[in-house]
Amino acid sequence: MGPKTGLKVYFDGKLVDASQAKVSIYDHGLLYGDGVFEGIRSYNGLVFKLKEHIDRLYESAHTILLKIPLTKTELTKAVIGTLKANHLRDGYIRVVVTRGVGDLGLDPRKCLRPTVFIITDKITLYPEKLYKEGMEIITVPTPRNLPEALNPQIKSLNYLNNILAKIEATNAGVAEALMLGAQGYVAECTGENIFIVRDGVLKTPPPYVGILKGITRGCVMELARKIRVPAAEEMLTRHDLYNAEECFLTGTAAEIAPIVKIDGRVIGSGRPGRVTLRLMADFRKLTKTDGVRV
């Protein structure tokens, strides 16, 4: 699929037609995956958790010594302006910052100015049926990147680790892949954090196991505490997942997606659980009130 007709994209300070937004073949974001990004959602004209996403983008950039050529305020205005230009109230926003144009060597000092672009569009990650009935996932051989090598806390343009795992899930005929860390503990899926409910406690892997500290993940933990369900970060094994009462994934695009089978093992009753359904409902309410108005 190419760019949609009439879609406007923010590209290095200007709003241009999507068909005219072109990145140089010498951009290190393309040549080496050298850059960072964020995926953000807008619900009925309210950009959900925009500040948190912008803050995380700047943290990722800071860690890889990439200076974003806009202030946070300027970038926030650019996001809102791009949404307005496309008349999108319910949309998906992709903010990308690359190292910029350089030569064919690795040295980032050869890239004089970062490239910044913002795409606003629609996204549907999974069919509605999976949210009602739950979905099946499998554990794949590809482990999550070592935090000491490429920390998953950096939301970088180099997503090949995730893509390889996604290919393994697709080849197995399921929608999503569970990735383990180097020590065999549960990490996350290719684009979502994972949660279980066991013994009345909501549990999710801690960031140091090698995961992205998801914005939706944090929202869900807060929502759980509000309904008096204890939420804890805990090292988890596949045994813990197989014997959980409930399981679900969280992410900006996926929102909250119930899991009912892992590696052929039925989870709980085999249907989305009570806590999962309550959190799904509460999360939908939160998206209507928490964010920046377009």
* Residues forming the active site: 155
Distance set, CA 182 to CA 1, 25, 144, 217, 230 (Å): 36, 35, 7, 22, 28
Do 165 and 190 form a contact (C-beta atoms < 8 A)? Answer: yes
- What the block records as the tokens of 88 is 């999108």
φ, ψ (nearest 5 deg) of residue 22? -125, 130
Three-point CA angle 82, 83, 86, nearest 5°: 90
Q: What is the widest separation between alpha-carbon atoms in the chain?
A: 57
The span from the CA of 195 to the CA of 271, in Å, is 15
- Closest among 14, 120, 9 to 70, alpha carbons compared: 14
Residue 69's alpha-carbon distances to 30, 33, 96, 142, 203, in angstroms, are: 19, 19, 12, 35, 39
For 132, the 3-state DSSP assignment is helix
User: Please, which residues have CB within 8 angstroms of residue 65's CB and are 6 or more apart in sequence?
Assistant: 108
Exposure letters 8-25 (e unless 16+ CB within 10 A, then b): bbbbeeebeebeebebee
For residues 118 and 95, the answer to whether their CB atoms sit within 8 Å is: yes
